[in-house]
Structure 1
Amino acid sequence: MQQVGLAVKRLQWRHHREANRGLALLGLSLVQWDTLRHLHANPGASLHQLAELTFQTDQSMGELAKRMVDRGLIERIEGPGRKVQHQLTPAGDELRQAGGATVDGVLAGSLGHLSDGERETLHQLLLKAAGS
């Protein structure tokens, strides 16, 4: 069991390291790109929602969002009541797409060696192990 856990962690670490290296060329970190990706899929998300989706604390997501607003990647919009929502700017969406190509390249370097069937089996096993 420990060897399986270690293999999962090693692959995740490799993906994070290589993705961060490639995304840095775009001026992004992995967590910034992940925020852009989730905001594209969940327009109008709150800071709390983004924190949950990106595995951040509310406080760290607040700081990250502030920096991303300052860079013009995302913007805050008024929601119902006192709720503040977020959306991508055109510049943020361009970087999301460019970053997606970078991350796809990283994943192809490891998971691309598996057949379609093997990738599907791996995906199903990971979902089962995660309780999803």
Structure 2
Amino acid sequence: MHGELQELGRAVKQAQYRQHRALDSALSAIGTTLAQWDALRAISRSPGASARELAEATFQTGQAFGTLVGRLAAQGLVERRPGHGRRIEHHLTPAGEQVLTVGHKVADEVLAACFSSLSDADRATLLDLLQRLTAGRDT
């Protein structure tokens, strides 16, 4: 049994690794990285969110996200604004919105290729299984 479970775990990791490599490569052609684009996506989904909230949403440590958002702010893609108390809120700039939009198109093309060997029904089943596997879990 443990061999089958380990094989399953490795297959999931390998699929994720290939997807991330393909996305990072394609996104680099538009001047961004997967980590940066993912941060822009998270900020777009939750405008005004704190760095802690965004770090969780992007599966990063607070320190790693802070470094990343600092780079995005220096590039003029993200704006940090004072919030309630010591809270710093994050918002996309128009340039950040533009990178995000182009990134969505790139990601759609890459992901279509990544999942092209699966039928629509297989993709729906895979999504359902993965959602069931991760439902209600923080990690």
Alignment TM class, shorter chain as reference: over 0.9
The Cα of 1:114 is off from its aligned counterpart by 2.0
Q: Percent identity?
A: 44
The Cα of 1:113 is off from its aligned counterpart by 3.0
The Cα of 1:90 is off from its aligned counterpart by 0.4
Residue 115 (structure 1) aligned with residue 119 (structure 2): yes
Unaligned stretches of 5+ residues in structure 2: none
Q: CA RMSD in A?
A: 1.1
**Counterpart code for 2:65:** M
Instruction: Kindly report which structure 2 residues correspond to 1:15-34, keeping only aligned pairs within 5 A, or say none.
Output: 15-34=19-38
When the two structures are superposed, what TM-score results if normalisation uses the length of structure 1?
0.94
Unaligned stretches of 5+ residues in structure 1: none
Equivalent residue, structure 2, for 1:11: 15
1:87-128 Cα offsets, whole Å, 9 max, x none, are 000000100011111111111012133222211110111112
Moved over 3 A (4+): none
What SS is found at the alignment partner of 1:87?
Answer: strand
Q: How many residue pairs get matched?
A: 132
Equivalent residue, structure 2, for 1:70: 74
Instruction: Kindly report which structure 2 residues correspond to 1:1-132, keeping only aligned pairs within 5 A, or say none.
Output: 1-132=5-136
